[in-house]
Amino acid sequence: MKPDSSLAVLVSGGLDSAILVGEGVRAGKSVHPLYVRCGLFYEPVELRYLRRYLRALKAPALAPLTVLDMPVKDLYGKHWSLTGRGVPALGSADADVFLPGRNVLLLSKAMLWCHLHGVPAVALGSLQTNPFPDATLEFFRAMEDLVNRAVDGRVRIELPYAGLCKTDVTQRGRGLPLQFSFSCIRPKHGLHCGLCNKCGERREAFADSGMSDPTRYAR
């Protein structure tokens, strides 16, 4: 396998990143899934689903999951993502689910891991509909340049879904074990709550794509 067929993927286990891993494997790439653990209250459930999803892919070119730690409690304080209180509900504004500087934190850790492990690129499932300031093309190019300058590196940030909406990406996931993907920010008894902002996006993505929703919701 050629060196440039190796790729790290920043993965949370949500639809976009799960499908990105699956597509990388289908394309014959050696895929290194990276999960950055920040101490958010829903991460234990998210990680359990992610591990199930990766096992279900059963791909020889899929490397074991790497979990990197980047705690944010000292930054975010009593933010809903840490406390589980006041989690944005169905129909809430995009701004309500914004985690300040999240891509700065995730990409700095992931790019340095790639640099130290000889992996030439890291991909993430950022969509054209992402409205946040750390999800613009200008941000990603500046971040790529800055981290590479810091270590005299050449790691690329790849954005294969930059021109797509969530429905487009969901349709590309046909045939993947998406029942093990996880999108919820307020899990109940190990299930999607069905009432949070992200569960709403998930239901809509399956409905708009004309696909059956395989998700078990608590509500």
pLDDT score for 3: 41
Which residues are paired to 9 by β-bridges?
33, 123
Q: Mind listing the pLDDT tens digit for each residue in 126-166? A: 987 777 889 999 999 999 999 999 999 999 999 999 989 99
Distance CA 9, CA 75 (A): 25
The residues, any chain, with a CB within 8 Å of residue 99's CB and separated by 6 or more, are 76, 79, 81
Distance CA 136, CA 127 (A): 10
Mean pLDDT of 168-180: 97
The DSSP output letter for 93 is -
In degrees and rounded to multiples of 5, residue 67 shows phi and psi of: -105, 120
Q: Contact at 8 Å (CB) between 123 and 162?
A: no
SS3 content of the chain, % helix, strand, coil (to 5): 45, 15, 40
Distance CA 67, CA 154 (A): 22
| CA of residue 158 relative to chain centroid, distance | 13
Domains and CATH numbers, the chain: 3-209 (3.40.50.620)
Q: Mind listing the pLDDT tens digit for each residue in 182-217? A: 999 999 999 999 999 999 999 999 999 999 999 999
Q: Mind listing the pLDDT tens digit for each residue in 50-76? A: 999 999 998 889 999 999 999 999 999
Q: Which of 148, 200, 201, 180 is nearest to 21 (CA)?
A: 180
> Tokens at residue 25, please?
């494997």
pLDDT band at 1 (very low <50, low <70, confident <90, very high): very low
What is the reported pTM? 0.94
Helix (H, G, I), strand (E, B) or coil at 32: strand
pLDDT band at 4 (very low <50, low <70, confident <90, very high): low
Question: How many CB atoms are located within 10 Å of the residue 207 CB?
Answer: 13
Q: What rounded mean pLDDT belongs to the chain?
A: 94
